[in-house]
Amino acid sequence: MRVSRISFIALALITNGCSVYQAAVQPGPVDLSEIVIGTPRQLIIAKLGQPKHEDKDASGHKQDYFEYKSGMNEASKTRVVPYALADVFTFGLAELALWPLEEVAMKAATCTAVATYDANLKLTSWHLHKKEKGNLPC
């Protein structure tokens, strides 16, 4: 009985705060308004980071495949307060529900994009995709 109680307390302490941390560090939405046809490749990389994969299309034009996180607006980070309170009042048991919830939210925040460039590395084609189904915009 004593061992199971100690194990329970250890588990509660280890998992305590995972959802709070994930909610606090989730990225905000990515502003893609500057990415239009004719945008230089360097600006797109500065906005989204290094491409996950580089290739050429059937016409021989350079293509970049991006994967990036586009999360909720910054005001949504206030959810850390009820998460922390739930952790305190349930001695960490709330993490059993909240942590998977945040994991799903982070997966839903993952977007992919394919950029195709001309010979001068200016954007000629731009396609956005959601990696997982969700209601967060890319």
- The average pLDDT across 20-42 equals 87
Question: So what's the pLDDT on residue 116?
Answer: 96
Cα separation of 131 and 32, whole Å?
17
- The average pLDDT across 115-121 equals 96
Higher pLDDT, 8 or 70: 70
**Nearest of 28, 31, 66, 45 to residue 121 by alpha carbon:** 45
**pTM score, whole prediction:** 0.66
- The torsion of the CA quartet 39, 45, 47, 50, rounded to 10 degrees, works out to 160
- The average pLDDT across 61-66 equals 96
> How many residues does the structure list for the chain?
138
Higher pLDDT, 67 or 104: 67
Question: So what's the pLDDT on residue 90?
Answer: 87
- The average pLDDT across 106-135 equals 84
pLDDT at 89 exceeding the cut of 80: yes
- The average pLDDT across 33-43 equals 95
Question: So what's the pLDDT on residue 123?
Answer: 97
State the distance between the two ends of the chain, measured CA to CA, in whole angstroms.
50
Cα separation of 35 and 47, whole Å?
9
Q: Is the torsion defined by CA of 20, 104, 113, 50 positive or negative?
A: positive
* Domains of the chain, each with CATH number or no CATH: 2-130 (3.30.1450.10)
Contacts of 4 (CB under 8 A, 6+ apart): none
Contact yes or no for 103/22 (Cβ under 8 A): yes
